[in-house]
Amino acid sequence: MSQIALRTGVQMAEPEFHEPTTEVRYKVVPDDQLPTERVTLVVDGPGFVEARIRRGHATEPLCEQLMCVSRHIFSNGLWVYHWAEAANAAGVHDTGTPAEVRFEIHPASAFPKDILCLFREQPGEFVWFVREGHLSEEACGEFNEYLKSSLRAGFWVQRWDEGEAERVTTPY
């Protein structure tokens, strides 16, 4: 296995998976693209997952950074998404996915300059840390509901190398 170095200086083993890469998009959208009672909507299909966020509940720069990190995660095979149709057809239910995946909002002082999000991952937990002022509490809660239900359904699969203790990265 080859090694990849992130800007944080952390060395990670580059997985050797050859499955299709899933594209994850985060978009700030106008009101008419979401149900009136929600501020987020996650739409998926073969090869993509799109998280739509109502204008005023997330910033464009945050969406760009979330996509950058997600691109790294999926292109390196660290996570795989089983689309609903594929998961149902394959009977995917128990995937060994971490028990807890969530977004958390933290004070700006907790982040390096110009960084709006980063993640920490370890066995049993994956956390998106988001700089306050860039994601509303309501959107954070709805994303957490989505993650909890989709993990329970077996749609997300974490790839974890034996011996890895933690992954931490920033969008750059």
Chain segment 27-58, per-residue pLDDT in tens: 999 999 999 999 999 988 777 889 999 999 99
> In angstroms, rounded to a whole number, what is the distance separating the alpha carbons of residues 172 and 27?
19
Chain segment 109-161, per-residue pLDDT in tens: 999 999 999 988 887 788 999 999 999 999 999 999 998 888 877 777 776 66
Query: In the structure encoding, which two tokens stand for residue 141, read together?
Result: 């809660």
Query: In the structure encoding, which two tokens stand for residue 159, read together?
Result: 């790839």
**pTM of the predicted structure, to 2 decimals:** 0.76
Which range has the worst mean pLDDT, 58-62, 83-87, 104-108, 160-164? 83-87
Average confidence score pLDDT of the chain: 77
Q: What is the pLDDT of residue 15?
A: 34
Q: What is the pLDDT of residue 24?
A: 87
Q: What is the pLDDT of residue 165?
A: 66
Question: CA dist 172 to 17, 67, 121, 150, Å?
Answer: 23, 11, 17, 28
Of residues 74 and 64, which shows the higher confidence score?
Answer: 64
